């Protein structure tokens, strides 16, 4: 799964990279993005064109009675998104990109230091594009209407998103067997296509191993209260 990532690129640079206007609202750099936080998503709609919007991470289907369901829908498996009721509508018509500096995954060795529970301590890794570009994670988005609010209330509508996951490549698979599905730049327009003219099921595949780099980082990232560039700094030999 993908349960934590970093989104630290300047919004103006992000807009330039994804060829969108500058976002109406600026989010601060976040080195420890967790579910339910506000995040940038790239969407393309017939009326507005491509834009950088702010969504809450954790998809709330339009038919949901309680928005709390979003905390359980932070990821969508590529293998089942076309059939699962929570995702199939969005997969057909509401695809997005979720830009990231990189994402975190936890590796649990068979031996090594023990945690307080007595189990081997999990080591976090930061996985990111080797060339320094943004990681364009494939996602889905939904608008949810809060029926308890009047229609003209700006808070009556909530934009939410989920990140699609797939089998990990061999190199990343040594850390964890799942990874976010990523979309190469050449396929962004096809994935986002607001007219839905192309079948994109063939794109539901892992990134090539050569695109991504991974290294161990501090266990400080384990707590969502911690945030800052030190979370993505590589560990030096002998550090925990």
- According to DSSP, the residues that pair with 56 across neighbouring strands are 38, 160
Q: Examine the residue annotation and report whether 105 is marked as an active-site residue of this protein.
A: yes
With vertex at residue 57, the alpha carbon angle to CA 51 and CA 59, rounded to the nearest 5 degrees, is 95
How far separated are the first and last CA of the chain, in Å rounded?
A: 24
Exposure string for 220-234, b = 16+ CB within 10 A, e = fewer: ebbeeeebeeebbee
Alpha-carbon radius of gyration of the chain:
18
| Continuous segment of H or E residues that includes residue 139 | strand 135-145
User: Which entry of 2, 53, 96, 142 is annotated as an active-site residue?
Assistant: 2
CA distances from 46 to 111, 122, 143 (A): 54, 45, 16
Q: Examine the residue annotation and report whether 142 is marked as an active-site residue of this protein.
A: no
Cα dihedral 134, 131, 202, 82 sign: negative
User: Which entry of 53, 105, 142, 161 is annotated as an active-site residue?
Assistant: 105
| Distance of alpha carbon 79 from alpha carbon 145, whole angstroms | 28
| Distance of alpha carbon 39 from alpha carbon 163, whole angstroms | 11
The catalytic site residues sit at: 2, 105
């Amino acid at each position: 799964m993908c349960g934590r990532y970093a989104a630290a690129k300047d919004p103006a640079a992000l807009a330039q990279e994804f060829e969108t206007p500058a976002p109406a609202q600026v989010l601060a750099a976040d080195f420890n993005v967790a579910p339910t936080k506000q995040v940038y998503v790239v969407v393309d709609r017939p009326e507005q064109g491509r834009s950088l919007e702010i969504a809450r991470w954790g998809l709330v289907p339009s038919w949901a009675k309680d928005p709390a369901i979003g905390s359980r829908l932070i990821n969508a498996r590529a293998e089942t998104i076309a059939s699962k009721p929570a995702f199939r509508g969005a997969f057909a018509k509401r695809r997005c990109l979720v830009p990231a500096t990189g994402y975190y995954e936890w590796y649990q060795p068979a031996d090594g230091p023990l945690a307080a529970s007595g189990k081997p301590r999990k080591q976090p890794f930061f996985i990111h594009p080797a060339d320094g570009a943004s990681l364009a994670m494939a996602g889905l988005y939904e608008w949810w209407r809060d029926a308890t609010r009047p229609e003209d209330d700006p808070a009556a509508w909530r934009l939410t998103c989920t990140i699609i996951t797939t089998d990990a490549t061999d190199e990343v698979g040594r850390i964890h067997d799942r990874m976010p599905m990523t979309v190469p730049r050449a396929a962004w327009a096809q994935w986002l296509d607001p007219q839905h003219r192309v079948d994109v099921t063939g794109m539901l595949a892992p990134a090539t191993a050569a695109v991504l780099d991974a290294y161990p980082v501090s266990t400080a990232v384990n707590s969502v209260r911690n945030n800052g560039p030190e979370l993505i700094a590589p560990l030096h030999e002998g550090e925990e």
